[in-house]
Chain A
Amino acid sequence: MRPELVCALLLELTPCWARPRRRLPTPAQALARMTSVPTQPCTARGRIQFFPPGGGKPKGLGTMIYALPDGRIRREIRDKGPRQPAAEIIIDDGRTLSLYLAKPGLLWSGEVPRESARTTRERLESLYAVSVSTGGRVAKRKTWRVDLRAPDGAARVTYWIDRDDGLLLKTETYRYDGSLMRRERLTRLDCPAQIPDGLLASSAPPSASARPLVPPDPPVPGSSARFPSWTPLGFLPLEARALAGGALMTYGDGAQRFTVLEAPADAASGLDESLGREVRLADGTSARLLPDGERNALVRRDGSRLLVVSGDLSDDELARVAESLTEAR
C-alpha cells in the first residue's frame, strides 16, 4: 500500500474527539462576519421561499447573485430557469439602487440611505438575544447557526453563515406565532468568481419607463406623512391612501406585504401599554413590537404623530423602515 494512502486512512480513523475542532465564534464575532461584505467576488444561485400565514401554499423564486468586495451587488430573478432572461434585476452600485421589472418594462431607481455594518449590528443586538451554535451544511459549506431571539426566547430570525469567510448562506424569518415566514437560501456559491464590471451597470433597456424608488411626498395630498426612504430589497410602493387622519402606505414584493400608517398620535389613546415589548430604535426613539399571532407590527409615537409599520417583515426590518421615516424628516 502506498504511504500516502496509509496516512489518509489513518487520518480518517482518527476519533472525532481527537480531531482539531473549530471554536464557536462569539455572537459579536458572528454578527460582525455576517454583516461584512465578501472579501472576493462571488456568484451564487439561491432560492427565496415565502410561507403564507395560516398554512397557505408556499411560493418561491430562483435568484442569481453577483457580489463584489466593494459592496456592489446584482440580484436577478429568473422565473423560467437560469438560461432565460431575468424577470427582475436589482442592482446596487454603491450609490443608487435600481430595480428593473422586465414585465411590464418598468425601472425604479434612486438613492437609498446607507448604514454602516456597525449600525446594522447594533440594531440586531438591541432587538434580539443572539446565540451561536453549529449549523449543518448549506450550499455544501459548513456553517455556524446564528439565532436571533426575542427576550422571551421566541425565535425571530436564524442565519446560517459560512464557517470560513462568514458569508451569509441562509436566513429564516419567523412570525410571532413561531411559524416560518420566509426562507432565503443559497444553493450554489462560487468564490472567487469572474464578474464583468458591466454587470453592475443598469441592464434596463432605454425603452423602460423610469420611476423613482421613493415616490415624491406627501403620499396623500395635505398630509404630513412621508414615504419611508428604506424598504427591504425587492419591495416597491404599491399604494397610498388617506386613513385615520394620516396616510396608509402599502409595499409589496409580489408575495409579502407590509403597510406603514402615519396618523395623529391621539388616535392611539386606547393603546394597552402592556402589549408587546418596548425597544429602542437606532434613531434614539422608543417603539413597541406587538406580538400578533400571524403578523408582526411596530408602533411608535413620534411627538404628535403615530407610526405603525406592520406586515411580513422581521423585527429589525420593521425597525429600519420606522427609522428611515425619521431620517427623511
Chain B
Amino acid sequence: MNDEDLLSDYADGRMTAEARARFEERLRAEPSLERRARELAALKAALAQAAPPMPADLKAALKREARRAASRPPSFWEGLRAALSAPWAYGAGAAFAAAAALLLLHRPQPPQPAPGAAFQDAAAARGLERLWQADDGRDGDAT
C-alpha cells in the first residue's frame, strides 16, 4: 500500500488501532507526510461542510430540482445545445453538433431565449416510428 492509500485510510478512519499507531509514528518522523495528512483532513472537513444535508426524500428532491431547472428559460447556447442533442434531433444531432461546433461556437452571441417549436407533427413522428421493427441486420443475398 503506498502513502496515498495510507493517507486516505487514515483520514477516513479506516485503519486498525495498530496500523494507526504505526502511521502516526511515521507522521511524527516525516514532516512532509504530516503536512499532507493535515491538508487531506482539512479538505475532507471542507467538503463535509459544503455538502447540503441529505434530504429525507431524495427522489422527491431530485424531481423538484428537475422541475425548477425546466421552468427556467434556457440561455441561447443552452437552447442550441439542447436542440442539437434532443431525441428528436437523433440522426442529425451529432453531425450538426460537430458542424455547429466548428461553425458557430467560436462566435460570441448575446444570450437570447430559445423559443419552442414553431411547427411540430408528433402524430407523424409516432406513426412513422411504428413502421419500423427490430431486424437481424442480415443481408439475405450477401453479395
Tell me how far the C-beta of A60 lies from the nearest C-beta in chain B, rounded to whole angstroms.
3
Please tell me if the beta carbons of B124 and A58 are within 8 angstroms of each other in the complex. no
* Stretch of A123-131, A132-140, A193-201 with 4 or more beta carbons under 8 angstroms from chain B: A132-140
Q: Which 7 pairs, one residue from A and one from B, show the smallest C-beta to C-beta distance? A: A295-B95, A257-B91, A60-B135, A270-B106, A311-B92, A254-B128, A136-B143
Please tell me if the beta carbons of A239 and B120 are within 8 angstroms of each other in the complex. yes
A191 within 8 A of B: no
Whether A270 touches B94, Cβ cut-off 8 Å, given contacts A136-B141, A248-B83, is no
Please tell me if the beta carbons of B99 and A252 are within 8 angstroms of each other in the complex. no
Please tell me if the beta carbons of B98 and A106 are within 8 angstroms of each other in the complex. no
Q: How far is the CA of A256 from the CA of B88 in the complex (A)?
A: 11
B15 within 8 A of A: no
Whether A101 touches B133, Cβ cut-off 8 Å, given contacts A258-B91, A290-B98, A293-B98, is no
Q: How far is the CA of A101 from the CA of B131 in the complex (A)?
A: 9
| Residues A131-189 near B (CB distance < 8 A) | 135-139, 143, 145, 160, 170, 183, 185, 187
Please tell me if the beta carbons of A306 and B103 are within 8 angstroms of each other in the complex. yes
B43 within 8 A of A: no
Number of CB contacts from chain A to chain B under 8 A: 206
Chain A residue contacts of B139, Cβ below 8 A: 183, 185
Please tell me if the beta carbons of A299 and B132 are within 8 angstroms of each other in the complex. no
Chain A residue contacts of B48, Cβ below 8 A: none
Q: How far is the CA of A243 from the CA of B109 in the complex (A)?
A: 12
18 A-B residue pairings within 8 Å (CB atoms):
A49-B135, A59-B132, A59-B133, A61-B132, A185-B139, A220-B119, A237-B121, A240-B118, A248-B83, A255-B129, A255-B132, A257-B91, A258-B91, A272-B102, A292-B98, A297-B96, A306-B103, A310-B95
| Residues A75-91 near B (CB distance < 8 A) | 77, 79, 87-88
Q: How far is the CA of A250 from the CA of B120 in the complex (A)?
A: 9
Chain A residue contacts of B121, Cβ below 8 A: 211, 236-239
B19 within 8 A of A: no
Please tell me if the beta carbons of A269 and B115 are within 8 angstroms of each other in the complex. no
Chain A: which residue is nearest B135 at the CB level?
A60
On chain B, the number of residues with a Cβ less than 8 Å from chain A's Cβ atoms is 50
On chain A, the number of residues with a Cβ less than 8 Å from chain B's Cβ atoms is 81
Whether A254 touches B129, Cβ cut-off 8 Å, given contacts A183-B139, A248-B83, is yes
Chain B: which residue is nearest A181 at the CB level?
B91
B83, B95, B129, B137 pick with most chain A CB within 10 angstroms: B95
Write the B101-139 contact mask toward A (1 if CB under 8 angstroms, else 0). Answer: 011111101000011111111011111111111111101
| Residues A12-65 near B (CB distance < 8 A) | 47, 49-51, 53, 57-61
Please tell me if the beta carbons of A244 and B91 are within 8 angstroms of each other in the complex. no
Chain B residue contacts of A234, Cβ below 8 A: 128
Whether A242 touches B143, Cβ cut-off 8 Å, given contacts A270-B104, A297-B95, A310-B96, is no
Please tell me if the beta carbons of B118 and A221 are within 8 angstroms of each other in the complex. yes
Main DSSP-derived SS at the A contact region: strand
Contacts A136-B143, A255-B132 aside, 10 further interface pairs with beta carbons under 8 A come to A50-B135, A53-B94, A57-B135, A59-B135, A138-B143, A242-B115, A254-B131, A259-B92, A297-B99, A299-B99
Tell me how far the C-beta of B117 lies from the nearest C-beta in chain A, rounded to whole angstroms.
4
Write the B29-54 contact mask toward A (1 if CB under 8 angstroms, else 0). Answer: 00000000000000000000000000
Chain A residue contacts of B135, Cβ below 8 A: 49-50, 57-60
Q: Which of A77, A108, A160, A257 contacts B89 (CB 8 A)?
A: A257
Q: Which of A237, A261, A299, A312 contacts B91 (CB 8 A)?
A: A312
Q: Which of A252, A269, A295 contacts B125 (CB 8 A)?
A: A252
Q: Which of B88, B119, B129 contacts A215 (CB 8 A)?
A: B119
Chain A residue contacts of B130, Cβ below 8 A: 79, 87, 103, 254
Q: How far is the CA of A271 from the CA of B102 in the complex (A)?
A: 6
Chain B residue contacts of A49, Cβ below 8 A: 135, 137
Chain B: which residue is nearest A78 at the CB level?
B131
Please tell me if the beta carbons of A270 and B107 are within 8 angstroms of each other in the complex. yes
